[in-house]
Amino acid sequence: MMNLTQHESHSESAALVARIVRNSLFVFLARALETLIRIVLVAITARYLGVELFGEFAFIMAIAALLIPILDFGVERIIVREISIDIANADKYVSSALILRMVFSIVLILAIITVTHMLHWDQRMALALFVATCSQIFLAFGIVFLGVFRSFERMEYDILLSFFHQLIKLTSIVVVVAYDLGLLSIFLAMALADLSKTVLQAITVSLKFFRPRLILNLNYCKLLLKEAYPIAIFAFLAMMSFKVDVFILKYFRGPVEISLFEIPHRIIMQIQILSMSIVIALFPLLSRLAKSSRSSLEYAYEKVFKVLLNLSLPITILIIIWAKEIIIAVFGKEYLDASLALQILVGTLSSLFLTSLMNFTLISIGKQTLTIVSIVICFCVNLLLDLLLVPKYGYLGASVGTLAAYLCFFCTALYFTSKNVCNIPIISIAYKTIVCGIIMILGCITFKSGTLLSFVVGVTTGILCYVFTMIALKTFTTEELNLFKRAITNRA
């Protein structure tokens, strides 16, 4: 009887993982295209503004990025978790979140106007920050509607609207560049695209799910604030960890070195969206599994961990080997010095992929306060190393500090998930992946000579070496391959 029960539980877990893979595969492919558009956007902006002015642009964007956690306050993830298990009251959660957004937005706008006035900012830069702040406010309202898509596991709406959002942004910025409208017009173009996305999200929710109503419900507002504040703290510290290098480089070095750090750092952050898209797509299901079946949660966590590890390593290898070619081809020769920083920062990619999974898994089981400890350590390490390294080594010192900080972030998150979710056999999972990576490196460098042909042949050869070595070593078991097959053929 026990064996039969275990077999049924295992089959149920396998079916759930197949469902996760199927949902995530579509999201991943769409996000891959969106990531490509985002990188093109950064490339167009960087080439148009030049190294120094792009540094000023990146500085304003760094300040605006710190506003995201304040505006969102971690509410979106709580909405996803709560609606996933309480769909009947979805409209109450959304209404409360929108009201909270309004309050935070008003306070934030007043604070930005007051601070820029007190610090006697240049009028152009102050106006650019104000427009960038409005962009973040538009996106913050959109994130509430995005939470509805994720809760109902209807990610196709998010994917479609995000794709249109990037197209609108790309078109707007191309117009700015074509007519040489200047730095402020880039911020205006981004704000227009962000507002368009939020309006489309609101319309979609009204037509496909329910009509949001602004009805004040203090109990739901209190619930959202109480549950979300640890995530808000985590998100703010995470953004500080991601952007503290910009502020320290601004103080010690200036806009040129901000550009040389931000260009490779943005590449890594854009690629990380791929892992985030997969994890976010499965988050509602993880939240339900945390309530209903702990064994299925552990099973799904381990399988997704393995997929993300095997996905991130080949990307890391390709970027390390062809960093110079990538920087020159995408951003131009004036950014060539950023290639070494890219080679350093790409070392964080696998840890970031896996940390995303671990943190969302902790949130799914209600342990979001533990993520704060991880990000505090990450921020402190990054800040300390930046203060030690940036004055002497500039953007390269900032890159090393970021690498060390993100590795600490990974280690602490791994410790907490091992204690609270499950202790997965990392060595047995990783050793075959590492062997595949070594064979891939040999395949890549065999054809590396600096020409376009060698790049195409080298990348193709490297990927084929990785795939064939995975097959030879049976990196994925027959059971796991069957899961992927069931997911792709929609038979889960």
Displacement of CA 33 from its chain's centroid (Å) = 15
Residue 16: what pLDDT? 54
Average pLDDT, the chain: 82
CA distance 410 to 180: 43
pLDDT at 3 over 70: no
Taking residue 468's Cβ as centre, other Cβ atoms within 10 Å add up to 14
Most confident of 249-258, 291-300, 426-435: 249-258
- How is the chain split into domains, by residue range? 23-424, 425-492
Mean pLDDT of 137-153: 80
**DSSP type of residue 154:** -
Q: How confident is the model at residue 189 (pLDDT cuts 50, 70, 90)?
A: very high
Mean pLDDT over residues 329-356, rounded? 91
Give the model's pLDDT for residue 305.
Answer: 87
What pLDDT, on the 0 to 100 scale, is given for residue 486? 56
The pLDDT value given to residue 119 = 73
**Integer CA distances (angstroms), 327 to 47, 249, 332, in order:** 11, 21, 7
Q: Quick one: average pLDDT of 141-165?
A: 79
For residues 243 and 90, give the distance between their C-alpha atoms in angstroms, rounded to a whole number: 34
**CA gap 17, 280 in Å, rounded:** 15
Instruction: Determine the average pLDDT of the residues in 274-284.
Output: 75
If one compares 162 and 327, the residue with the highest pLDDT of the two is 327
Give pLDDT, residue 21: 56
Residue 216 main-chain phi, psi, to 5 deg: -70, 125
What per-residue confidence (pLDDT) applies to 336? 92
Q: Is residue 20 pLDDT above 90, yes or no? A: no
Long-range contacts of residues 118-125, Cβ cutoff 8 Å, at least 24 apart: 124/183, 124/184, 125/56, 125/60
The answer on pLDDT for 405 being more than 90 is yes
pLDDT of residue 327: 92
pLDDT surpassing 80 at residue 114: yes
Which pLDDT does position 8 carry in this prediction?
46
- Do 351 and 241 contact (CB within 8 A), yes or no? no
Q: Is the pLDDT of residue 139 over 60?
A: yes
Binning pLDDT at 50, 70 and 90, where does residue 344 land? very high
Q: What is the band of 491 on the pLDDT scale with cuts at 50, 70, 90?
A: very low
Write the pLDDT tens digit of every residue in 170-181. Answer: 899 999 999 989
Of 477 and 419, the one with more pLDDT: 419
Alpha helices, DSSP H, located in 322-367: 323-331, 338-345, 349-364
Res 367: pLDDT? 81
Pick the more confident residue, 260 or 288.
Answer: 260
- Hey, which of 56-60, 154-158, 294-298, 483-487 has the most confident mean pLDDT? 56-60
Q: Is the pLDDT of residue 197 over 80?
A: yes
User: Looking at the predicted structure, is the pLDDT value of residue 420 above 80?
Assistant: yes
Higher-scoring residue by pLDDT: 16, 72: 72
What span, in angstroms and rounded, lies between the C-alpha atoms of 484 and 6?
Answer: 22
What was the pLDDT predicted at 337? 92
Residues 6+ away with beta carbon under 8 Å from 431: none
Judged by average pLDDT, the poorest of 11-15, 217-221, 290-294, 463-467 is 11-15
Distance CA(198)–CA(146), nearest Å, equals 9
| Mean pLDDT, rounded, for 107-130 | 83
pTM of the full structure: 0.78
Alpha carbon distance 188, 179 (integer Å):
14
In this predicted structure, the answer to whether residue 202 has a pLDDT above a threshold of 80 is: yes
pLDDT at 25: 58
The pLDDT value given to residue 263: 92
